[in-house]
Amino acid sequence: MQITTEEMPGGITRVALDGRMDIAGAAAIDLKMNIIAGSAKKLLIDLQKVEFLGSMGLRSIVIPARAVSSRGGKVVLFAPNEMVESVLKTAGIDTLIPVRHDLDAAIAVLG
């Protein structure tokens, strides 16, 4: 599991995740995700390259998102594949953290 971050215009922090968000993948990114969530105000979590999302991986999204939101920040999930999106929907995450497939639309959520 790889994690890369990029500061985008408008104060947006883009975190690109790459790999399987299973128990091992979640363990590999948790610390970094929590550090990022400790300072980001506008967080775009790029899921394009996430091949798998399990419940441990969901935690790795939910905990940082909650941290950003509790400081008045915003979070958007960008471009999950069909199965990953199905997990997000079944867990009811998509109604609380917006999911967008178009980058401009994702940025607009953070506006």
Partner 1 sequence: MTGPHPSWPEPRLTLQSQLEDLTLVWPWVEALAARYSVPAETQFAIQLCLEEALSNVIRHGYRGQANQSITVECAPSGVAELVFTVEDHAPPFDPVAAAPAATPASIQELEPGGQGIRLMRKFASRLTWQPLPHGNRLILAFALPPPAIS
Sites of contact with partner 1 (CB under 8 A) = 20, 22-24, 52-56, 58-59, 62-63, 65-66, 69-70, 75, 83, 86-87, 90-93, 95-97
Least distance (Å) between residue 86 CB and partner 1 = 8
State which residue, 6 or 69, has the beta carbon closest to partner 1. Answer: 69
Radius of gyration over every alpha carbon of the chain, rounded to an integer in angstroms? 12
Q: Tell me which residue of 58, 54, 70 sits closest to 33, measured CA to CA.
A: 58
State which residue, 16 or 98, has the beta carbon closest to partner 1. Answer: 98
Residue 15: strand, helix, or coil: strand
